Chains A and B, each alone.
Chain A
Amino acid sequence: MTTSPLLDASGVAKNYGAVAALRDASLSVLPGEVHALMGANGAGKSTLVKILTGAISANAGRILIRGEARDIRSPAAARRAGLLPVYQEPSLIPDLDVLSNLRLTGTPVEPFRAWVRELGIPDLDLRDTARDIPLAVLRVLDLARALAVEPDVLLLDEMTAALPANLAEKVLEVVRRQGDAGRSVIFISHRFVEIAALCDRATVLRDGATVGVVDIEPGVEEKIVELMLGTRIVKTHVAARSVADKARPPARPRITVKNLRVGTKLSDVSFDLADGEVAGVVALEGQGQDELFAALAGSIKPSGGTIEVDGSPVKFTHPIDAIRSGIAYVPGDRSEALAMQRSVRENIALPFSAALRNWGPIHMRKERATVASAIERLQIDTRAQGEVQRLSGGNQQKVTIARWIAADARTILCFDPTRGIDVGTKQEIYHLMRELAGNGKSVLFYTSELEEVQRVCDRVIVIFGGRLVDIFPVEEADEPALMRAAYGLPRGAKADVGILADPHSSTQASNASDAAEATP
């Protein structure tokens, strides 16, 4: 390649005390390129991004922008150098309206408006307070705000996580066009489909060092995974119930939901969940799945319909009621479930102390044994177990699940448990869910990543517009079918939707998934 890189970082290192977050990272981005930055959780992606955008300073390394060495000491300096990030967490100030937020960063309003429309939100009121705007829209606004100042290098950290498919599609389209317009984008994502559809090259990090730069071409997925993990992992379909199991007459339903209604968000939803089953829930963002899970978990009161547990109707007024019925809820947002400053052990043992009668002295030895076996079962990396906030995202997620394994809950409601965590941990979570089902427990599993459905679920419930639109047996629940159903299209419709509709991305995506299928 003769073009000189727009951004060239090499030998970047960062230590936190004795812990090396980055040892030797390099990243070189050409003009007009969409460059993927990949790595398992804890590989150092976030640290590298923070260094590039001036949020933290590196201990060593060299950063060249257009061939000139630049010292990026602050986010403002990064901005002047033409580097602009969009982080995973929304960055608008919640108590200000959108317009004030724009003024705060000196963002031109008209280009911002244009980008917002371009990104698929036609009716944004700039006077809306950021707090009242749904998360998915906030992330799009963050992106629009960055685009409006026309940065040379745009850094997108897990941009499409938590985005419904329709918005994600627009975002990807816009990102692609940035590249075509000669600007560069650094794209961090765990979704291969997106990377295949979007990126030109990928830099792979492992243990704080760059271990490879690859061109994105059909079949590269396996190579990237290999680089990320350092060993070859086999991407298998976690076997759903075996044929013999399926012949078994269905057990009495563990939970029966009849005509469940929650405000205006969820109406007339009915389904069963049997013991020994993993039932998937698929829906675009904000179709009522949050309310469904919250109602089953006892967090909110349904406004109509009934929930039956083991055949008898229940009314939950507090999560403790659901927990007493053996129903545990693992929320999608880990920060919602964990006491971040407390130890792994205390977090796992938290439900044990909840009831008034368990406020007395703790039987330490018994607790240690229970916690240790849960940690063992989930393979939690306990090097930093003194405070949960020091664990990687994947390990934090495991702690939220381990809690309910330790408490021996009969039904676990998992809301997008694999969001933003690495491939290896995802696999472990899939296995765990199957194992739980094998032991006669039941799992209700909402996922925003459609490819997970066929790996884990026995059945799939699709919700659209607050209504249950379809229940698929797992054999028919391939990604296009689910995508159509999630958009509320009837089964059997032929038109491709979502990112699969784009001819360019469709070939790449199917190539990528073919590559996945072909792996032994």
Chain B
Amino acid sequence: MSSTAITPSPLPLGRRAKRFMADRPLIPLIILLVILVVILQILRPGIVNERWIANTIKFAIPLAILAGCQTMTMLTGGIDLSVGTVATMSAFIMATQIVNQDPAVAFLLAMMPAVLIGLVNGIGVGVFRVHPLIMTLGTTLIGTGCLQVYQRTVIASGAKIPDFLAWLGTGVTPMLGFALPNALLLFVPLAALIVFTLARTGFGRLLYAVGDNERATRLSGVQYWQVITALYVTSSLLAGITGLLYIGLIKAPSLSLAEPLVLPSVAAAVIGGTSIFGGRGGYTGTIIGALILTVLTTLLTILQMPEGARRILFGLIVLFVTAAYLRIVEDK
């Protein structure tokens, strides 16, 4: 049904507030984030200080980049579950190759599996039309397997964390009276690039359009496989870079380094307002979603609950927040 007339009658305050939030979907997210920080401060007075903020940002950034992978793939109605494995692989390869190789060579070697897995994902989804969930789950398993084989071959050489990555992952630079995490040097340009790509480039437009109505894009001359292949390669590259950043933060290479980030990255994108069915969402919401999840994790940690109860609560809060957010934003 289409609009026939706009009635300018004043609305009750509640509805007006709701409409305001529906027009600016970021506002309720920011409010939620602030509420969580306030709760944290009440439960443990004094915890919210400069150091805590820097730490939260440090841990939120890898999650936010991986959630960026999910945001972009979800816009097309897909998902990329292989980001965890890709990040782990590049981190692990970097840490082991740096022992004997030039840093540039080690970097290239570390990014190779990312490109390969991205390409396989993209071709599988774009050309052979495998469902993204299955496709990326498959490459996850294959990647993990390859990593185990690789581990045996380098078991003697040992591993080390390159100083640069440690600096980037954990270091802070005092600036304007704040201790800014160095990771922001990587993240800010990267985030700006993603936001710009989604809003102002042909490729970004196509991601939304393909997720909204693939048939329509085909009739407009869009070649689906090109878009999807480029998308999954981009997603994998971002995941690879995240792996390098994350190893600098965690400083302990393992075969399941970034795995625990995969599902939170999906949750961050969904909380941030990206529709899992495609065509709707954006990266700024996702960043706040990642911050919310990170703060929530801290909050649950200081509650000193058993691990099981903490997970249950985490799951319930994620569900509740997502449902509430969708109700607010989708103005009916």
A contacts, CB < 8 Å to B: 15-21, 23, 41-44, 46-47, 50, 207-208, 297, 299, 318-320, 323-324, 329, 331, 335-342, 346, 349-356, 358-362, 364, 383-384, 390-393, 395, 403
Q: Mark B312-332, 1 if CB is under 8 A from A, else 0.
A: 000000000000000000010
B203 contacts partner chain A, Cβ-Cβ < 8 Å: yes
Complex: A264 Cα to B7 Cα, angstroms: 55
Nearest Cβ on chain B to A158's Cβ, whole angstroms: 14
When distances are taken between beta carbons in the complex, the residues of chain A under 8 Å from B202 are 352-353, 358-360, 362
When distances are taken between beta carbons in the complex, the residues of chain B under 8 Å from A16 are 1, 3
- CB of A319 within 8 A of CB of B220, answer yes
Q: A337-B219, A339-B209, A342-B212 are in contact. List 12 more A-B contacts (CB 8 A).
A: A19-B6, A43-B4, A46-B1, A208-B5, A297-B219, A338-B213, A346-B209, A349-B205, A350-B217, A351-B220, A359-B201, A392-B2
- CB of B2 within 8 A of CB of A395, answer yes
- CB of B201 within 8 A of CB of A319, answer no
Q: Name the one of A19, A42, A335, A358 contacting B213, with C-beta atoms under 8 angstroms.
A: A335
Q: Name the one of B4, B7, B196, B220 contacting A354, with C-beta atoms under 8 angstroms.
A: B220
B160 contacts partner chain A, Cβ-Cβ < 8 Å: no
When distances are taken between beta carbons in the complex, the residues of chain B under 8 Å from A15 are 7
Q: Name the one of A18, A339, A353, A392 contacting B11, with C-beta atoms under 8 angstroms.
A: A18
Q: Mark B23-55, 1 if CB is under 8 A from A, else 0.
A: 000000000000000000000000000000000
Please list 21 pairs of residues, one from A and one from B, whose beta carbons are closer than 8 Å in the complex, sorted by A's number: A18-B7, A19-B7, A20-B5, A207-B4, A299-B219, A318-B218, A319-B218, A319-B221, A337-B216, A339-B217, A340-B213, A342-B212, A346-B205, A350-B220, A353-B205, A359-B203, A360-B202, A361-B201, A383-B6, A384-B3, A393-B2
When distances are taken between beta carbons in the complex, the residues of chain B under 8 Å from A20 are 4-5, 7
Q: Name the one of A331, A341, A361, A384 contacting B280, with C-beta atoms under 8 angstroms.
A: A341
- CB of B203 within 8 A of CB of A390, answer no
Nearest Cβ on chain A to B5's Cβ, whole angstroms: 5
B8 contacts partner chain A, Cβ-Cβ < 8 Å: yes
Nearest Cβ on chain A to B193's Cβ, whole angstroms: 11
- CB of A18 within 8 A of CB of B212, answer no
- CB of A341 within 8 A of CB of B279, answer yes
- CB of A354 within 8 A of CB of B2, answer no
Check A21/B223 contact, CB under 8 A, given A341-B280, A342-B212, A353-B206. Answer: no
6 shortest interchain CB distances as A-B pairs: A353-B202, A392-B2, A339-B212, A354-B221, A320-B221, A42-B2
Q: Name the one of A324, A360, A403 contacting B220, with C-beta atoms under 8 angstroms.
A: A403
B226 contacts partner chain A, Cβ-Cβ < 8 Å: yes
B contacts, CB < 8 Å to A: 1-9, 11, 19, 196, 200-203, 205-206, 208-209, 212-213, 215-223, 226, 230, 279-280, 331
When distances are taken between beta carbons in the complex, the residues of chain B under 8 Å from A339 are 208-209, 212-213, 216-217, 279
Complex: A339 Cα to B279 Cα, angstroms: 8
Q: Which residue of A lies closest to B219 (CB)?
A: A319
- CB of B5 within 8 A of CB of A207, answer yes
- CB of B215 within 8 A of CB of A336, answer yes
- Tell me whether chain A's interface is mostly helix, strand or loop, or mixed: mixed
Q: Name the one of A23, A359, A390, A403 contacting B2, with C-beta atoms under 8 angstroms.
A: A390
Which of B5, B219, B279 has the most chain A CB atoms closer than 10 A to its own CB? B219
Complex: A61 Cα to B213 Cα, angstroms: 38
Complex: A354 Cα to B196 Cα, angstroms: 18
- CB of B4 within 8 A of CB of A208, answer yes
Q: Name the one of A42, A351, A352, A362 contacting B3, with C-beta atoms under 8 angstroms.
A: A42
- CB of A340 within 8 A of CB of B212, answer yes
- CB of A19 within 8 A of CB of B5, answer yes
Nearest Cβ on chain A to B210's Cβ, whole angstroms: 9
- CB of B8 within 8 A of CB of A342, answer no
When distances are taken between beta carbons in the complex, the residues of chain B under 8 Å from A354 are 206, 217, 220-223
Nearest Cβ on chain A to B231's Cβ, whole angstroms: 11
When distances are taken between beta carbons in the complex, the residues of chain A under 8 Å from B220 are 319, 323, 350-351, 354, 403
When distances are taken between beta carbons in the complex, the residues of chain B under 8 Å from A361 are 196, 200-201
- CB of B203 within 8 A of CB of A342, answer no
When distances are taken between beta carbons in the complex, the residues of chain B under 8 Å from A359 are 201-203, 206, 230
Q: Which residue of A lies closest to B224 (CB)?
A: A318
Complex: A50 Cα to B1 Cα, angstroms: 10
- CB of B1 within 8 A of CB of A350, answer no
Nearest Cβ on chain A to B53's Cβ, whole angstroms: 34
Nearest Cβ on chain B to A410's Cβ, whole angstroms: 15
Q: Name the one of B8, B215, B216, B222 contacting A18, with C-beta atoms under 8 angstroms.
A: B8
Q: Which residue of B lies closest to A338 (CB)?
A: B216
Which of B3, B19, B209, B223 has the most chain A CB atoms closer than 10 A to its own CB? B3
Q: Which residue of A lies closest to B280 (CB)?
A: A341
- CB of A360 within 8 A of CB of B223, answer no
- CB of A17 within 8 A of CB of B201, answer no
Check A331/B219 contact, CB under 8 A, given A17-B19, A18-B7, A19-B6. Answer: yes
Nearest Cβ on chain A to B6's Cβ, whole angstroms: 6
Nearest Cβ on chain A to B214's Cβ, whole angstroms: 9
When distances are taken between beta carbons in the complex, the residues of chain B under 8 Å from A390 are 2-3
- CB of B205 within 8 A of CB of A362, answer yes
- CB of B4 within 8 A of CB of A336, answer no
Complex: A359 Cα to B206 Cα, angstroms: 8
Q: Name the one of B1, B4, B208, B221 contacting A323, with C-beta atoms under 8 angstroms.
A: B221
Nearest Cβ on chain B to A379's Cβ, whole angstroms: 15
Complex: A395 Cα to B3 Cα, angstroms: 12
Nearest Cβ on chain B to A461's Cβ, whole angstroms: 22
When distances are taken between beta carbons in the complex, the residues of chain A under 8 Å from B11 are 18
- CB of B216 within 8 A of CB of A23, answer no
